Amino acid sequence: MNTQWTIGIIGGSGLYAIDGLEDAEWRTVDTPWGMPSDDILFGRVGAVAIRFLPRHGRGHVHLPGEIPARANIDALKRAGCTDLLAISSVGALQEELPPGTFAIVDQFVDRTTQRPGSFFGSGLVGHVSMADPTCERLGAFAAAAFSAVGGTVAEGATYLAMEGPQFSSRAESRLYRDWGCDVIGMTALPEARLAREAELPYALVGMVTDYDCWRDDRAAVDVAEIVAQMAANGRIARAAVAHLLRHLPPERTPSPIDTALDGAIMTAPAQRDTTLIQRNAAILARVLG
């Protein structure tokens, strides 16, 4: 088991760079699932190896529903990542999460409709648990780091993943509040599901840019205001990520998520699709040898 950290950072709207990155080099990582959103920025912060992937691509070129999530996670696995920290802009569904809050997500409600959501398929059936879809350990490290640099942190948030690219109607926004969701975004799923299938502990920090449109006495979501808040959030996020990387424990101890595929593959060996196995060579290397 690898005792060294290699942290994959998936940057969303508002986080496009890593402060203090040493030996930085953009590298192309090919995958059987196509090209990821962009090249991956390899580097290190102190003793910690870093792999940074801009989720929407440099210049923000991919719509949320068109992000090549399978290629992204596969590429980060091939790049040697042991853990994934995802950062994404979100809207708030609760009054106590004003713009500028950093929400540590621990649950998801999936309302996406058009995105391939698994590395498995016919001829290679697999099931992993998503009861606790994020990594408690990495989430705690992130919460401490954002607090340390002056960020306002809210832990235990439930993220509603919508298809987009349009924002919610007021009726939808009120419904999601009634469901008990705390923040809303367009990109964390199927990303988190695929990370679990890839045995990569995954934590998500939702950077609140605005209140979603559930409040009758307020105007609807204003894109210009969101962009301005994204910039402010991004400055704190860059400082927090640098702090987290410099304060990780010197040795990475095993996570239960490292073995998420134990017992997950249901298809009998003789009936397994060899093409799909080969396509998933990086994901299945530990369990199929």
Low-confidence ranges of the chain (pLDDT < 70): 1, 13-16, 218-221
Give the C-alpha distances (Å, rounded to integers) separating 145 from 35, 102, 249: 32, 11, 13
Q: Is 136 contained in some domain?
A: yes
So what's the pLDDT on residue 248?
97
Asked whether residue 9 is domain-assigned, the answer is no
Q: Which of 225, 246, 227, 221 is nearest to 93 (CA)?
A: 221
Residue 78 lies in a domain: no
CB count in 10 Å sphere of residue 25? 10
Report the C-alpha gap between 84 and 138 in whole angstroms. 8
Inside any domain, residue 173: yes
Judge whether 38 lies within some domain: no
For residue 14, the model assigns a pLDDT of 63
Instruction: Find residue 26's DSSP bridge partners.
Output: 41
Question: Could you tell me the CA-to-CA distances from 53 to 49, 182, 248 in Å, in that order?
Answer: 13, 26, 20
Residue range(s) defining the domain that contains residue 272: 85-288
How far is C-alpha 272 from the chain's CA centre?
Answer: 30
| Residues labelled as active-site residues | 210, 212
Q: Is residue 53 part of a domain?
A: no
Q: Please state, in angstroms and as integers, the Cα–Cα distance from residue 27 to each residue in 4, 137, 157, following that order.
A: 21, 29, 34
What would the pLDDT profile of 1-14 be if each residue is shown by its tens digit? 678 999 999 997 66
Structural domain contains residue 94: yes
pLDDT score for 16: 66
The answer as to whether 79 is a domain residue is no
Whichever domain contains 269, its CATH number is: 3.40.50.1580
User: Structure tokens of 169?
Assistant: 């109607």
Number of structural domains in the chain: 1
